[in-house]
Every structure is written in C-alpha cells, then in structure tokens.
C-alpha cells in the first residue's frame, strides 16, 4: 500500500506525481491544511491537469488529501481518532507477533536478532541516525518472520507510516534513538529466551514512548489537527 508500484505494473507520469507529492506530504514539506491546486501542480510538473487529478485522487484514497469539490484540495490534517486507531492496531498485532516469535524462535532467528541489534548499536556509535528508520523496519520484519507471520509486517508498516508523518514534528532522532535501541535489545533478549510475556511487556514500553511524543506534538501543533 505504500507506493504506486504496488498497484500498477508500469510507471506513468501519474506515478511520478503521486510519489513526489506523497514524499513531500510525509516529510511535512506540504503541511496539513495547505491548499493544493490542480493547475499549479500541472504547471510544476509540466503536464496537464489530468494526471495531477489522478494523483490527487490516489492521495485522497490514502487519507493524505481531502478533496472538496469546487472548493479546494488540501493536505489532510492529523486526526487523533486515526492515530489512536493505528496505535491500537499496532499494539494488538505486535503483541501477537511477539508471543509467536518467542514461541518459535530458533537458533537462526536468534542469530538474526543479534545481528540486527548489533547493527543498531553500531549506528548509535557512528551517529548516522538517518538510516535508523531502515534498521527499525528490518528489526520488526525479522520478528514477524520468526513468528512465521510475515504478513503481520505489512500491517505494522502501514500503521507505522500513518504515524510517521506526525513524528516528523517530534524530537530529533538523536535524542530518541538510544532508548529505542535499548527497547529493541530487551525485546530481542526476551524472544530469544522464549519469554513471551517479557517480550510483550518490553514491546508495550516501546510503543508507550509514542504516546508521550504524540501528546506533546498535539499540544504544540493544534493547527495541524482536525477540530473535534
């Protein structure tokens, strides 16, 4: 569900526009509430309104734009309900994954977890924080694989994406990373020891960090949120 390539089999100019705008929206270069015009975008990308229109439609379907006929199209504001939903789904899915992972973790799985944790700790030392996102995904994907529920990673990825746009407004990665890596280490240890309960506990602590972050962001950026 993430990018255009999942749905179509060949790239068109609509795909380019879609991917570009999506990245800008996710990075908050286009901010919640910003108005977008089909004509402006057409001029910017050097195409007619039509492909822009198609791209807008796709973005609206992914809950990133709101199209208000004959009025305007704007970048969707954050919705606390949507965020709570993502938070809830992630918690539910990760809990199941961690229990299954703890149950099914074999030597190969343990080795892969060790490797993943080692990479993350190395990254902390070399201070190349930007590539943490990729390592984070690999870690959770590895857990899904050990749990023999690979499709669970799709869900985690989808829900994570929804919250990521919000987290751009939070603290810098430099500040958050040490805690996150420590969380991961605890989760990995529990899974390796087949202690599902401890793994779930560590996982909930991990997710809990999001809550503080989200609460602070909401307090400081009310204008980016839907009125409720």
Partner DNA sequence: GATTTCATTCTTGCATACTAGAATTGCGAA
Partner DNA sequence: TTCGCAATTCTAGTATGCAAGAATGAAATC
**DSSP SS3 for 70:** coil
Q: Give the x/- contact pattern for its own copies in 136-165, rule: CB under 8 A.
A: -------------x-xx-xx----------
Of 1 and 115, nearer to its own copies (C-beta) is: 1
| CA–CA gap between residue 137 and residue 154 (Å, rounded) | 11
| CA–CA gap between residue 173 and residue 198 (Å, rounded) | 26
| CA–CA gap between residue 120 and residue 131 (Å, rounded) | 10
Per partner kind, with CB cut-offs from 5 to 8 A, the member of DNA, its own copies, none near residue 66 is its own copies
Stretch that binds its own copies, among 32-40, 86-94, 122-130, 160-168 (CB under 8 A): 86-94
Q: Give the binding-site size for its own copies (rule: CB under 8 A).
A: 34
Q: What six digits make up the tokens of 47?
A: 């195409």
Q: Measured between alpha carbons, how far is residue 205 from residues 18, 60, 187, 209 in Å?
A: 36, 33, 10, 7
| CA–CA gap between residue 78 and residue 69 (Å, rounded) | 21
**DSSP SS3 for 48:** coil
User: How far apart are CB 136 and its own copies at their closest, in Å?
Assistant: 20
Which residues in 43-102 contact DNA (CB under 7 A)? Answer: 46-51, 53-54, 56, 67-73
Per partner kind, with CB cut-offs from 5 to 8 A, the member of DNA, its own copies, none near residue 48 is DNA
Positions that interact with DNA (CB under 7 A): 8, 12-14, 36-40, 42, 46-51, 53-54, 56, 67-73
């Amino acid at each position: 569900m993430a990018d255009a390539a999942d749905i179509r089999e060949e790239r068109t100019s609509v795909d380019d526009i879609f991917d570009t705008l999506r990245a800008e929206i996710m990075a908050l270069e286009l901010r919640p509430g910003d108005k977008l015009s089909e004509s402006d975008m057409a001029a910017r990308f050097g195409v007619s309104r039509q492909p822009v229109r198609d791209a807008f439609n796709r973005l609206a379907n992914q809950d990133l734009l709101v199209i208000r006929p004959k009025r305007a199209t704007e970048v969707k504001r954050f919705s606390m309900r949507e965020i709570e939903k993502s938070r809830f789904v992630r918690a539910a899915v990760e809990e199941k994954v961690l229990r299954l992972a703890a149950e099914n973790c074999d030597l190969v799985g343990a080795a892969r977890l060790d490797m993943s944790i080692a990479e993350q700790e190395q990254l902390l030392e070399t201070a190349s924080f930007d590539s943490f996102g990729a390592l984070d995904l690999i870690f959770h994907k590895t857990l899904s694989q050990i749990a023999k529920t690979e499709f669970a990673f799709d869900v985690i990825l989808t829900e994570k994406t929804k919250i990521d746009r919000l987290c751009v407004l939070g603290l810098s990665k430099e500040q958050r990373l040490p805690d996150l890596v420590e969380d991961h280490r605890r989760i990995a240890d529990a899974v390796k020891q087949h202690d599902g309960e401890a793994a779930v506990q560590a996982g909930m602590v991990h997710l809990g960090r999001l809550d503080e972050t989200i609460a602070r962001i909401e307090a400081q950026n009310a204008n980016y949120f839907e009125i409720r």
